[in-house]
A and B are shown apart, each in its own frame.
With several copies, the nearest count.
Chain A
Amino acid sequence: MEIQVAQSQDVTVVVPTGDLDMGAADQVRRVLTELIDKGQLKLVMDLGGVGYIDSSGLGTLVAAMKQARAAGGNLKLCALQDDVRSIFEMTRLIKVMSVHPTRQEAVASWG
Chain B
Amino acid sequence: MRDGGPEGTFVLTSEPQHLARLRDWLRGELTRLKVENQEQFGLQVAVGEICSNSIRHAYAGLGGKPIHVSVQGSEDRLVIEVRDFGKKFDPEAYRPPDFEAVPEGGIGLHLVRQFVDELSYDVTQEQGTRWTLVKYRRRG
Contact = CB atoms under 8 A, between A and B. Distances in A.
A109 to B, nearest CB: 17
A87 B20 CA distance: 18
A25 to B, nearest CB: 8
B16 interface: yes
Contact of B107 (A19, A52, A55): A55
A92 B20 CA distance: 25
Contact of A59 (B44, B45, B104): B104
Interface stretch (B66-74, B88-96, B108-116): B108-116
Given A19-B23, A52-B44, A55-B49, A87 B100 contact: no
Interface of A: 19, 21-23, 25, 52, 54-56, 58-59, 62, 66, 69, 83, 87, 90-93, 96
19 contacts: A21-B19, A22-B19, A22-B48, A22-B56, A23-B15, A23-B20, A25-B16, A52-B41, A52-B48, A54-B48, A54-B49, A54-B52, A54-B111, A55-B107, A83-B41, A90-B111, A91-B107, A91-B110, A96-B102
